[in-house]
Amino acid sequence: MEALQGFVDCGTGSEDRHSLQAACQAQFRLLRIILSSYGTGDLGISARKISWWRFLVCDFIDDHSKKVWAYPMRTKDQVTEIFKNFHVAVERETGMKLKCVRADNGGEYRGLFENYCRTHGIKLEKMVPKTPQQNGLAERMNRTIVERVRCMLSQAKLSKSFWGEAMRSAVDLINLTPSVTLDGDVPQQVWTGKKISYKHLRVFGCRASVHIPRDERSKLDAKAKQCIFLGYAYEEIEYRFWDPDSKKIIRSMDVVFFEDQTIEDLQKLEKAKVGNPHEISIPVSVDVEHPMEELPSEYEETTTRGEIPQVDDDVTTDDTSSQL
């Protein structure tokens, strides 16, 4: 017995965490979703001046295609409502039922969230507490998104208040990037089953000359306004821009891009035009459009029409990587 007790004591003192074997890894099947919500805390901007003052994200990963969806949140209490909208959207898009959701043991996945899954016949898999490696795919994706957002804002010379727009573009680009997990295939292509094109991609944060529709200007007014490119509309037929004059996000298909120029170049252009040291004001707050919700009341968006390169189903997928 003394010898046996020695073995027990040895095991207790030297026990390490075991690596997860293949049996614990998620299996590939359509509409099995890995759910994660995370944040990086205060962005260093006064909460009184900005509605999106914390970096809080709710994201979903399809376990089969590795396609990612990510939505900004003000609080983690919004997870259930975001998931409801996501659930309806993916089932409508695919015509298939969502079978399973894997999530950690966060409080946001209890109560209302559990009841919703139970009501709709969705299996909710909870991971072992304090075992983040069991959700390795989501953990790596979260880190990738944060790193890309940081790099995109730095390269574009944009303030942290644009983090939501940078996140949208980062996720779009991740879905168009060949994945090692998929042996070089592209998540968006696996998800839709259609060939994709990269012709529509542009440099995040670059200067853009956006056409002003005839009914929004007089005969002597300029035909274009100088804006900053922020990303792609979810309909994939329009681009999104920040208009420094109106301080609104606008959408347009008729635009000329200057991909080697940033907001700093636009500021220099405005100075030279007016002949004074006036600088374009950069907002402390930019509300991010939720693709499945109505826009906040303080957020306005306008749309203009024209030409934009379309996704060409006949173009083969390039083996290159690009919402960086």
Q: For position 287, what pLDDT does the model report?
A: 52
What is the span of the domain harbouring residue 69?
Answer: 27-184
In a domain, 146, yes or no: yes
How many domains does the structure of the chain reveal?
1
Q: Are 174 and 145 in contact (CB under 8 A)?
A: yes
In a domain, 48, yes or no: yes
User: What is the rounded CA–CA span in Å between residue 187 and residue 122?
Assistant: 23
In a domain, 308, yes or no: no
Q: For position 186, what pLDDT does the model report?
A: 96
In a domain, 58, yes or no: yes
CATH code, 141: 3.30.420.10
Mean pLDDT for back-to-back runs of 10 residues, the chain (324 residues): 48 44 38 76 44 70 92 89 94 91 87 94 82 73 92 94 92 94 93 91 95 88 92 81 92 94 88 60 51 40 43 43 39
In a domain, 199, yes or no: no
In a domain, 204, yes or no: no
Q: Are strands 248-252 and 301-303 parallel, antiparallel or unpaired?
A: parallel
Q: Are 231 and 163 in contact (CB under 8 A)?
A: no
- If you ran DSSP here, which 8-state letter would residue 281 be given? P
In a domain, 271, yes or no: no
Helical ranges in the chain per DSSP H:
2-14, 79-94, 112-119, 136-156, 163-175, 187-192, 263-274
Q: For position 47, what pLDDT does the model report?
A: 37
Q: 110 φ, ψ to 5°?
A: -115, 175
Q: For position 292, what pLDDT does the model report?
A: 42
CA 106 to chain centre: 21
In a domain, 291, yes or no: no
Angle formed by the axes of helices 136-156 and 163-175, nearest 10°: 120
* Residue recorded with tokens 């979260």: 142
